[in-house]
Structures are given as structure tokens and as C-alpha cells.
Amino acid sequence: MARWQPRGYRYPELRVLAPLLPDGRPIKRVSPDKYLDLYAGALASRWQDVKKTVSWLKKVDAALCCWCNPERQKGYEKLFCHTILIGFLLEEAGVPVVYLDGREKPVWDEADRARFLKILRAEVLKRQ
């Protein structure tokens, strides 16, 4: 499964996990800190579908593919990619996650992981 696929690839998409704001616009041109906040809010805005997708991912073997890499992300020494945040969410739900190709060195650290999950929980509760 992949987002922003290079020409010629046609893997299925999990659009519900895409870095899209509630109005459908992509999250872009913001700092990693702001991105984390916006993405948590975006996931919370479609939480029922996100929850179903995470439950499904717990039952299947899946690879979430992304073509982000440190070389493409000038200005950031470490990887700035939303699939890392998806990994945080999946790990929290008990899904084993293996990070490859720079994802073991994200711009986000353990404190950011905790903040992302805290914001997500708070946003979900606020919307219920």
C-alpha cells in the first residue's frame, strides 16, 4: 500500500491514513512540529475509519510503502515522512512495525511520539 506513488506503480492506497486535512487539502510546507499536530487532528477527524483500518491491519500482513527518503528532504537531516507517524499509531495499537530506509531515524523522537498520541486521543475525545 502506498501514497504518492511514482509513475508506473499502482499499489492500493489507504487514503484514510493520507496526510490530508479534514477538508481534503494536503498537509504541506509546515515544520515537522506543526505537521505532527495537523496530522493528529486530521486522523481524529476521520477516526472511525482510521480505527477500522488499524483493526484490519492487525489481521493481515501488509507493507506500507513510501518513496520518501532523506536525500529528497533537503533541510532535514533525518526523515520527515508521515509513514513514521502511522508507525507510531500502529505500534500503539499492538501492530508490529519495522522501519526501513531512514525511518529508523525520523525527525520525531520518543517525546514527539508521546505528544502525537496524546494529541490524537484528545482530538478524538473532543469530536465524540
Question: Could you report the per-residue pLDDT of 58-114, keeping only the tens digit for each?
Answer: 999 888 888 777 676 777 778 888 889 999 999 999 999 988 776 777 889 999 999
Q: Flag the least confident range among 12-16, 52-56, 63-67, 93-97.
A: 63-67
Which single residue is written with the C-alpha cell 502511522?
86
Grid coordinates belonging to 109: 523522537
pLDDT for the residue numbered 116: 97
* 121 vs 74: CA distance, rounded Å: 32
Q: Which of 96, 18, 15 is nearest to 58 (CA)?
A: 96
State the DSSP string of the chain. Answer: -BSSPPTT------GGGSSB-TTSPBP-SS-HHHHHHHHHHHHHHTHHHHHHHHHHHTTS----B----GGG-TT-SSB--HHHHHHHHHHHTT------TTTTSBS--HHHHHHHHHHHHHHHHHH-
One-letter identity of residue 38: L
